[in-house]
């Protein structure tokens, strides 16, 4: 594969778990150069096991950012029509810049998984922040959809089998954005684990049920997916990176730093149609 470095002088990565259910910080890695086969194998295992990976002190450029993404799949593009994030000078990379002009909001300031309204939602997203608010703020919360699924009763798990939900992108990104139906419970293609796939920003009911019941169960699941028991709150530093798996986690960007500057770039990785479980 392009962008693979030599194994010579290889030092094992460190993988430090952040919470019982989600997140690990990766050390002994330099993302400004190609990874070796051994490093990549460890990184892929850590991603599957931990759902979100964090990196510190990585002064990456767009090519480094894209190289990391392409180890996991082709780079994708945002399907939303109206977004708070914008274009950068590189079509592969989106700019996430917020400052005193961002009084109308910031990207990701609601519980969600990225663009589940697309028929083929992104596998993952890699956010690099070079500038963060000087007095703190702008943390991102990540929550495990495996943990959310596993905490349901066996009765509820059985009830949800075979159900689908409409993910309506128009609710988030305006007219012209796609809508797509996906299974409520999906099986992660790499871990084999079951994950709840109900994006609170895009789903209003579950299909194939009486209206009140479909709305009520969707509301219950969305609320359940926000439980602090399943989440980890990440504090950014300048030149931190968060790389999350959209198939098994939700996230929420906290908008508590206005009018300070929080600025960086994001690349998203193309995924596959979410496979129903079992
Ligand atoms: C996003 O939802 O992709 C943005 C996350 C963040 O800015 O922390």
Whole-model pTM?
0.95
CA distance 141 to 110: 10
Q: Specify the DSSP class assigned to residue 129.
A: E
Pocket of ligand 1, candidates 127, 202, 236: which has the most ligand atoms within 8 Å of its Cβ, to mutate? Answer: 127
Q: What is the pLDDT of residues 125-162, one digit of tens each?
A: 999 999 999 999 999 999 999 999 999 999 999 999 99
Of the residues 92, 97, 262, 266, only one is catalytic, namely 266
Quick one: pLDDT at residue 40?
96
Q: What is the pLDDT of residues 93-129, one digit of tens each?
A: 999 999 999 988 898 999 999 999 999 999 999 999 9
CA distance 230 to 228: 5
Tokens 């990225």, located at residue: 114
3-state secondary structure of 45: helix
114 as an active site residue: the answer is yes
97 as an active site residue: the answer is no
112 as an active site residue: the answer is yes
Ligand 1 binding site (Cβ under 6 Å of any ligand atom): 96, 107-108, 125, 127, 140, 251, 253, 266
**Ligand 1 midpoint to CA 252 (Å):** 7
Of the residues 21, 65, 114, 250, only one is catalytic, namely 114
The series of mean pLDDT values per 10 residues for the chain, 278 residues long, is: 79 95 97 96 98 98 98 92 88 96 91 94 97 96 98 98 95 89 97 97 96 98 96 98 98 96 97 88
């Amino acid at each position: 594969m392009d962008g693979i470095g030599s194994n010579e002088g290889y030092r094992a990565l460190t993988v430090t778990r952040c919470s019982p259910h989600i997140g690990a910080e990766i050390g002994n890695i330099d993302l400004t150069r190609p990874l070796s086969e051994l490093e990549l194998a460890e990184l892929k295992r850590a991603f599957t096991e931990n759902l979100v990976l964090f990196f510190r002190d990585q002064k990456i450029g767009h090519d480094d950012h894209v190289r990391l993404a392409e180890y996991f799949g082709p780079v994708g593009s945002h399907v939303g029509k109206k977004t708070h994030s914008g274009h950068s000078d590189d079509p592969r990379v989106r700019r996430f810049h917020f400052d005193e002009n961002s009084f109308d909001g910031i990207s990701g300031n609601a519980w969600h998984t990225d663009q589940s309204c697309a028929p083929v939602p992104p596998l993952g997203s890699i956010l690099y922040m070079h500038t963060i608010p000087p007095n703190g703020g702008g943390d991102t919360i990540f929550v495990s959809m495996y943990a959310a699924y596993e905490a349901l009763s066996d009765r509820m798990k059985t009830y949800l089998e075979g159900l689908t939900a409409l993910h309506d992108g128009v609710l988030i990104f305006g007219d012209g954005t796609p809508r797509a139906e996906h299974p409520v419970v999906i099986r992660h293609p790499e871990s084999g684990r079951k994950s709840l796939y109900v994006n609170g920003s895009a789903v209003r009911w579950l299909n194939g049920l009486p209206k009140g019941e479909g709305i009520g169960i969707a509301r219950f699941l969305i609320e359940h997916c926000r439980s602090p028991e399943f989440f980890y709150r990440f504090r950014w530093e300048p030149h931190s990176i968060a790389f999350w798996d959209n198939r098994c986690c939700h996230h929420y960007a906290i908008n508590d730093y206005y009018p300070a500057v929080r600025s960086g770039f994001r690349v998203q990785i193309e995924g596959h149609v979410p496979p129903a479980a079992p």
